[in-house]
Amino acid sequence: MIKGKLGKWLNWIVSSILMVTLIGVASLVIVTKFSGGEPEVFGYQIKTVLSGSMEPDIQTGSIIAVKTVEDGSKFKKGDVITFMADKNKLVTHRIIDVKKTKNGVAYTTKGDNNNAADSNPVLADNVVGEYKGVTIPYLGYVANFAQSPNRSIFLLIVPGILLLCYAGFSIWRTLAKLETVKKSEHTG
């Protein structure tokens, strides 16, 4: 009796995990593709951390949620911002100094794990968002892997195949139980 209930619970748990994995990965891939690589949920963009400049608070390979901002001039010393360092390079560092210039507000930034401040000041216009402390370790490796079209298909196929295999195994096991019940009815 306990074995039967335990088996049902185990079956339900494994099926649920596989289904949530498949839906989660599919959602991540679809949102990434439709948003041009910048997924945004409730005003937060999901960013992948590729360096250790903000460790230990933000680990390499993490994903972080960055609150998008319209006005990049409202930040103060100690805030952690994400900004365009180059054309195709985003950086998330802490503000260590704020200066008002003729071109607007400029921030001096530094990675918590770096020995020196960043060499170029950050203009308020280059600020993309503010890091609010939401980080998920290691998931950035998966998100970065999913950026390639071939890899994203792989991430959809593998959980799908696992789910199909598990469903096939469950069907086979059920049919075997039915056959056992039929044999016991014929002999009994």
Tell me, yes or no, whether 47 and 130 share the same domain: yes
Lowest mean pLDDT among 111-120, 121-130, 178-187: 178-187
Tell me, yes or no, whether 50 and 72 share the same domain: yes
Kindly state whether residue 187 falls inside one of the protein's structural domains. Answer: no
Tell me, yes or no, whether 117 and 27 share the same domain: no
Between the alpha carbon of residue 105 and those of residues 12, 100, 164, 182, 183, the distances in Å are 55, 5, 56, 80, 82
Tell me, yes or no, whether 115 and 168 share the same domain: no
Band of pLDDT at residue 1, cut at 50, 70 and 90:
very low
Kindly state whether residue 120 falls inside one of the protein's structural domains. Answer: yes
Contact criterion met (CB below 8 Å) for 55 and 44: no
The domain in which residue 170 lies consists of 1-37+147-182
Kindly state whether residue 188 falls inside one of the protein's structural domains. Answer: no
User: Is the model's pLDDT at 65 over the cut of 90?
Assistant: no
Active site amino acids: 51
Tell me, yes or no, whether 130 and 171 share the same domain: no
Which tens digit of pLDDT belongs to each residue from 87-97?
Answer: 888 899 999 99
Which tens digit of pLDDT belongs to each residue from 136-188?
Answer: 888 777 766 666 666 666 766 777 788 788 888 888 888 888 888 888 777 76
Q: What pLDDT score was predicted for residue 139?
A: 76
Q: Which two tokens stand for residue 20?
A: 């949530």
Tell me, yes or no, whether 17 and 42 share the same domain: no
Tell me, yes or no, whether 108 and 23 share the same domain: no
Number of domain units in the chain:
2
Among 106, 122, 139, identify where a domain stops.
Answer: 139
What pTM does this model have? 0.61
- Residue 107 identity: Y
